Structure 1
C-alpha cells in the first residue's frame, strides 16, 4: 500500500525485528511435534528413559525460546501499530482541515468521523495483526506441511488435499465478503450522520417536538447497519465451520490411514502422533488465515475510504499548479508580497458552485473597494452576497474573471497569506469549547491588552464581565450556554481583534437589536482606522451608513454607489428602503 509507505519506512527496523521474532516463534512451534515424535519413537517405544529426558528438556527449551520471541513481537506490534495509528489520524485531520470547500461538500462530516475513528482503527488492527499473527499463520501452515512431508510423504498427500479445499473456500469467502464490508462502513456513516444531526439540532428538535420522527429515522439507519453487519458476517459464519469440518475429516483420515500403515510397519507411533499435532496446527493456522483474509477485506474497504480523503483536493492544490507554471516561466509573482492593503477589485467575476445546480451564483460581477472604505453589500436572499466573501477568502475559485488584491490575482498569492489579511465574522457565529478569552483571542493570540479591550468595547461585549468567571468563563460546545446575540458579539470581537487589513461582517449583527447594532457600527467607524470593512446585510438601515453600497439581485450587480445615488438610480434599493425604513416609520 503506497499510502502507508512513509509509516513503514519510519518503523521499518522494529517491523522487521517483529517479523523476525514471528518467524523464529513459528519455527519453535513447528519443532514441537517433531520433538514429541522423537520422545515416543526413541524414548518411550525403546524404553530409553534418558532419551525421554533429553528430548523433553530440549522441547521445553524450544518452547521457552518461542515464548520469548512471542513477548518481544507483541510489545513491538503494540507500540508500532498504535504510533502509526496516531500519526495516521493526525495526517487525516491535517488533510481534512486543509480541504477545499469542494472537498468539504463532497464527503459528509459524519463519514469523515467514521473514517478517522473506525477506519483508522481497522488499519491499526491490521498492522498489529501483521506483526503478531498474520505472518505466523501461513508460516506455521506451510511449515507443518513441510515437516509432515519429511516425517511421512504418503500421509502428507491427505494434508495437500485438505489445504487445497480450504484454499478454495478462502478465495470464495474473500470474493463475496468485500462488497458486504464496504456497505457495512457506508451504513456506519449513515448512523454517525444521523446522531451528529440530532446533537447539532437538539434544541430545534425539542422546539418542534419531532422526537418520534428522529427516533424513527435513527431506527431505520440502525436496522440497516444491523442488516449489513449480519450480511457481512454471513460468509464467515458458513466458511469457518466448513474449514473446521474439512480439517477434522482430514485428521480422521490421517489416523485411519496411519493405523493401517502402522499395522504394515510403514509408520511409527510417534510419526502418527506428530501428524495429528501438525493437523491441529494446520487447522488453527487455516482458521487464522480465514480471519486474516476477512480482516484484509475489511481493511481494504477502510483503506479505500481513507485514500478517498487523502485524494481530495486541498486549499493549496491550485496554488501549487500556479507556482509550477510561474517557475516554468521563470517568474516569481508573489516575491516581496507581505500584506493586503485593503484595495480589492472584482473583474467580470462569474462563479457556479461545483456541486450545485450548475447555475451561476455570481454573474459577470465587477466592482472595487479602496483602502479604508466601508462597503455594504445588500440584496434579497440567494442574491450571492455571502458568495462574494467565500470567493475573496478563496474557499472557492472563480469560474471566470479574477479577483485582485493589491493588483495581484489572489490565485497567484499564497492562500495562507491572503487569509491572514482577512477577518470574517460569519452569519452563523461559531464558538469553540474553552474560555471566552480563548475564543476571542482565537484569531490573534498575541493581541495586547489595549487591542483586546478595544475589540470588546466596539463589539458591545461588556456582558462578559458580568458572567460568573468573566473572561475565563467556560463556553460549551458551539457556545450552547450563551444567547444568539451574545454569540454574535463575541464573534465580532474575535474578528476585530485579528486586526486584519480587511474585515468582513456577513450579516454579523442579525441577532442584535437596533440600538446595539448602531453602537457597534459607530465603534467600527470611529475607532478602526486603515481597515477595509465589507458589511453583508439584508438591512437597509445598516447598509445606508456605508461609504459605498453594492446591490445584488440573482447573482448580478444591479446598483453601486452611495445611499443617495442608489435612491435616485436603483429601483431595487428604493424598494428595500421603502419596505424596511419608510414602512417602519409609518407604524
Structure 2
C-alpha cells in the first residue's frame, strides 16, 4: 500500500466523500428488504392501504436517495481514479527519466512500456473500483448478515455455513490466481518486447527476409500469453459457479426452513421474504467480492512491478555544493570498470591518461577495446569500480550530473533523432537557441547543403528517428546538435562512420576552426581521423597500450602500427596537421 499513500493523501477529501457516498448507498440498499417486510406484514396481510402507501413511499424515497449517492460516488470515483492514474504515470515516467544506467539495463524497454500502460491502467481501475463497488460489496454483505440474523437466528445458521464455504473458496481462488496473473504480466512484457524489436529493426528484417522467423518469435510469445491468460481465467471459471451453487443451495434450504417456521407460526411471511432478499444481496455481494479479490490479485502483481520501477536506483547527483568551473581538463587515474550485472570482466583496466583544456584526443583501438565505455564514464553514466575520473581537478562523483552533462556535448555512435523539425533536432535541449547558432552548427557539420535542398529547409519535419534521412545525413545532424550546444567538452563517439572521407575531412577542419578552448574527444576506427588529433589514446582489451602523438605511436606502439598498416599501408607516411 506504500504506492497508494501519497496519492490518497493528495485526494483525501474527495476520496473520503466518495467513501461516505458508498456507505450511505449501502445503508439505503439494506433498508429496502426490511421496509418490504413491513409492507407485507403490516399492510398487505392486515389490509391496511395507508401502511402500504406509507412504507411504499418511504421505500421509493430511500431508493431515490440511494440513486443520488450512487451517481455522486461514480462521479467522484472517476475523477479521483483518473487523476490518480495521471499522477502515477507521470511519476513513473519521471522516475524512468532519472534512472541510472544500471537500472535502465536491468528492465527491458518492452517491460517498461507495459508497466507504464497496462500496469498503471490496472491500478487506476482498482482505485476506481474501491470507490464504486469494492467497499460497497463488503458493507452490503456484512449489513445483510447482521439484519438477517436479527430477523431469524434459526435460519442464520444455514446462512453462516454458506458464507464459511464461500470464504474458503475465495481464499483458495486467491492463492491459485496470484501466481498465474504474475505470469500473465510477464508474458505481456515478452509480446511487447518482440513487437518493439521488430518495429525498430523492420528494415533489417526486410533486408534479410526473416519474416517467417519474426512471425515465429511472435507466435511463440503470443501463444505463451494465450496459455497463461487461459490458465488464469480457468481459476475464475471453476470457482465462480461453485460459489454461486453454494449460495443457491443455501437459499433453497432457507426457503424450506422458512416455510416450516411460517407453518408453525414462529415467523411471518414478510420476514421470510426479507430474509430471502438479504440472502440474495449476500449472494450478489459474495460474487462481487470474488471479482474484487481477482482484481486485487491482478493489481497486486501490477503494483509490485510499478514499485520495482519507483524503487530503482536513480542517476548520480554528486556531492559538491558549489558548481565547479569546467574548462575541459580531463584525467583518468587508474580507472578500472566492469558493467554492473554483466560478465564481471573489466572493460577498462587500470586506465590512466591526462589531456589539457583545448586539446583534441583521439581514442582508437580494435572492436571491443572499451572506447565507447570511456565516453559513458566521462558522462558519469556509471561509477568506476576503482580509480577516479577528474575534470578540472574535480572528481566527477562530486559534480552534480546536471552540471557535468550540461558542460559536455555528445554525438553518439548511433544517431538518434526525434519527431519534429530539423531546427528542433539541432537545437534539442536548448529551447532558447538562436537561429544563427543552429545554422552555424549545421554548416560546421556539413549538413546545411542537404538541409537547404529539403522542401521547408530547417522547418522540414523529420519522421521518427529521422526515418526520411540517410545514415550520413542523420550523423551530420547529430554532430550539428552536439556542436550547437557549445559545451567546453565535445565527445564524438565514432559518429562519422557513415560519412565519406571528404565530408569527414571537412568536419574535422571545421572542428579545428572552432573555439580553441574546447576539448574534443574523438572515438574513431579511422587512422586518418586519429592522425589529426593533438594526442592519441590506443586501447586494446581495455588497456592503455599507447598514448601520445601519431609519429611516436607509429614507432613505439605495435597495436597502433597494425591499425595504420591495415588502413593506409606500410611505410612511414608523415602527416601534417
Report TM bin, short chain.
over 0.9
Distance (whole Å) between structure 2 residues aligned to residue 41 and residue 516 of structure 1: 99
Residues 1:198 and 2:198 are matched in the alignment: yes
Distance (whole Å) between structure 2 residues aligned to residue 91 and residue 584 of structure 1: 61
1:371-390 matched pairs, under 5 angstroms: 371-390=357-376
TM-score by length of 1: 0.96
Provide the residue aligned with 2:512 in structure 1. 525
Residue by residue over 1:92-132, the C-alpha shift from the partner in whole angstroms, topping out at 9 and shown as x without a partner, is 01111111111111000000000000100110011000000
Distance (whole Å) between structure 1 residues aligned to residue 60 and residue 468 of structure 2: 66
1:539/1:119 CA distance change after superposition, 3 Å: same
- Offset at residue 444 of structure 1 (A): 2.1
Q: Is the 8 A contact 2:348 2:543 kept in 1?
A: yes
- Offset at residue 180 of structure 1 (A): 0.4
Provide the residue aligned with 1:464 in structure 2. 451
- Offset at residue 222 of structure 1 (A): 0.2
Please give the secondary structure, in 1, of the residue aligned with 2:314: coil
Q: Is the 8 A contact 1:443 1:497 kept in 2?
A: no
- Offset at residue 450 of structure 1 (A): 2.6
Distance (whole Å) between structure 1 residues aligned to residue 105 and residue 288 of structure 2: 41
Q: Is the 8 A contact 1:459 1:493 kept in 2?
A: yes
1:585/1:82 CA distance change after superposition, 3 Å: farther
Distance (whole Å) between structure 2 residues aligned to residue 82 and residue 493 of structure 1: 42
Please give the secondary structure, in 1, of the residue aligned with 2:76: helix
1:203/1:585 CA distance change after superposition, 3 Å: farther
Q: Is the 8 A contact 2:410 2:491 kept in 1?
A: yes
- Offset at residue 479 of structure 1 (A): 1.0
Distance (whole Å) between structure 1 residues aligned to residue 74 and residue 457 of structure 2: 51
Provide the residue aligned with 1:448 in structure 2. 434
Please give the secondary structure, in 1, of the residue aligned with 2:3: helix
Provide the residue aligned with 2:391 in structure 1. 405
Residue by residue over 1:479-526, the C-alpha shift from the partner in whole angstroms, topping out at 9 and shown as x without a partner, is 111110000000000000111110000001000000000000000101
Residue by residue over 1:247-281, the C-alpha shift from the partner in whole angstroms, topping out at 9 and shown as x without a partner, is 11011111111011111001111011111111111
Provide the residue aligned with 2:541 in structure 1. 554
1:233-312 matched pairs, under 5 angstroms: 233-312=233-312
Distance (whole Å) between structure 2 residues aligned to residue 493 and residue 445 of structure 1: 15
Residues 1:144 and 2:144 are matched in the alignment: yes
Q: Is the 8 A contact 2:324 2:399 kept in 1?
A: no
Provide the residue aligned with 1:178 in structure 2. 178
Distance (whole Å) between structure 1 residues aligned to residue 271 and residue 284 of structure 2: 20
1:238/1:375 CA distance change after superposition, 3 Å: same
- Offset at residue 236 of structure 1 (A): 0.7
Residue by residue over 1:229-250, the C-alpha shift from the partner in whole angstroms, topping out at 9 and shown as x without a partner, is 0111111111110111011101
Q: Is the 8 A contact 2:553 2:561 kept in 1?
A: yes
Residues 1:478 and 2:465 are matched in the alignment: yes
Please give the secondary structure, in 2, of the residue aligned with 1:505: strand
Distance (whole Å) between structure 1 residues aligned to residue 266 and residue 368 of structure 2: 90
- Offset at residue 565 of structure 1 (A): 1.2
TM-score by length of 2: 0.98
1:554-573 matched pairs, under 5 angstroms: 554-573=541-560
| Unmatched runs of 5 consecutive residues or more in structure 1 | 324-333
Q: Is the 8 A contact 1:504 1:534 kept in 2?
A: yes
- Offset at residue 446 of structure 1 (A): 1.9
Q: Is the 8 A contact 1:244 1:283 kept in 2?
A: yes
Residues 1:497 and 2:503 are matched in the alignment: no
Provide the residue aligned with 1:437 in structure 2. 423
Residues 1:392 and 2:378 are matched in the alignment: yes
Residue by residue over 1:366-405, the C-alpha shift from the partner in whole angstroms, topping out at 9 and shown as x without a partner, is 0011111110000010001011100010110100000001
Residues 1:345 and 2:335 are matched in the alignment: no
Residues 1:366 and 2:367 are matched in the alignment: no
1:1-150 matched pairs, under 5 angstroms: 1-150=1-150
Provide the residue aligned with 2:223 in structure 1. 223
Distance (whole Å) between structure 1 residues aligned to residue 435 and residue 521 of structure 2: 26
Residue by residue over 1:192-246, the C-alpha shift from the partner in whole angstroms, topping out at 9 and shown as x without a partner, is 0000000000000000000001001100110000000011111111111011101
Q: Is the 8 A contact 1:374 1:546 kept in 2?
A: yes
Distance (whole Å) between structure 1 residues aligned to residue 413 and residue 564 of structure 2: 22
Q: Is the 8 A contact 2:96 2:309 kept in 1?
A: yes
Q: Is the 8 A contact 1:458 1:520 kept in 2?
A: yes
Distance (whole Å) between structure 2 residues aligned to residue 335 and residue 187 of structure 1: 46
Distance (whole Å) between structure 2 residues aligned to residue 159 and residue 431 of structure 1: 66
Q: Which of 465, 471, 475 lines up with 1:488 in the alignment?
A: 475
Provide the residue aligned with 2:409 in structure 1. 423
CA RMSD of aligned residues (A): 1.3
Residue by residue over 1:520-560, the C-alpha shift from the partner in whole angstroms, topping out at 9 and shown as x without a partner, is 00001013332100000010011000010000000000111
Please give the secondary structure, in 1, of the residue aligned with 2:147: helix
Bigger shift: 342-351 or 437-446? 437-446
Bigger shift: 150-159 or 184-193? 150-159
Please give the secondary structure, in 1, of the residue aligned with 2:427: helix
Equivalent residue pairs, number: 572
1:148/1:524 CA distance change after superposition, 3 Å: same
- Offset at residue 471 of structure 1 (A): 1.2
Please give the secondary structure, in 1, of the residue aligned with 2:291: helix
Please give the secondary structure, in 2, of the residue aligned with 1:337: coil
1:340/1:21 CA distance change after superposition, 3 Å: same
Residue by residue over 1:121-165, the C-alpha shift from the partner in whole angstroms, topping out at 9 and shown as x without a partner, is 110011000000000000000000111111111111111111111
Q: Is the 8 A contact 2:371 2:539 kept in 1?
A: yes
